[in-house]
Chains A and B, each alone.
Chain A
């Protein structure tokens, strides 16, 4: 059974760095084909993919956030991390981590298990 849970600071000030942790069970990020992604959702708005990390250490970031994102993992402790630098009020959102898997028939990827989300507020 795959489960994921996000944790983070709750509130932080503009220009600071947001650090989020995704603790998961039911799979290993050292196993071929496994991935974890970060997705956020401002209150009352839609979903935005942020970044992903794969079993082999490959990472992918949403280019709209340029170099503000860093995703990493701790395989031995079943955790993935996201750092967002220079936050501002536009980064206020619920942040989700999700198990990411590939289609078995074509190169295509999706999110089959999601965490409960952690709300992050950027405010001075």
Chain B
């Protein structure tokens, strides 16, 4: 099973600040996916195929990486970006796994 480790677990950022969340895989994966989840709501697809923004996602977000190291970056933090972000990978066995999540708080 491919284990995804996200860091940091929690981060606080001020409006306008740059934020980077990292996801490391225990083995190489083809693509990484990111989901945003706000309190009491369902997760939303945020970034797919490592670097493509899902519909409606502001372009201050970006995704990058390859192999075992991936990241989600917010160029300039805004209040609405406060949420928990999860990374996700697919492999042939046992299919899908998620990272433990990174809680992004407003400072």
Does A105 count as interface, using CB distance less than 8 angstroms?
Answer: yes
For B94, the closest partner residue in chain A by CB is A63
Does A76 count as interface, using CB distance less than 8 angstroms?
Answer: no
Number of A-B contacts (CB under 8 A): 67
Tally of contact residues, B, Cβ under 8 A? 24
For B49, the closest partner residue in chain A by CB is A103
Give the size range of A's interface with the partner. 20 to 34
Cβ-defined contact, A49 with B45, below 8 A: no
For A94, the closest partner residue in chain B by CB is B42
Q: Considering the chains assembled together, what is the distance between the CA atoms of A105 and B88 in angstroms?
A: 17
B90 proximity list for chain A (CB < 8 A): 107-110
For B91, the closest partner residue in chain A by CB is A108
Interfacial residues, chain B to chain A (CB-CB below 8 A): 30-31, 33, 35, 42-45, 48-49, 54, 86, 88, 90, 92-101
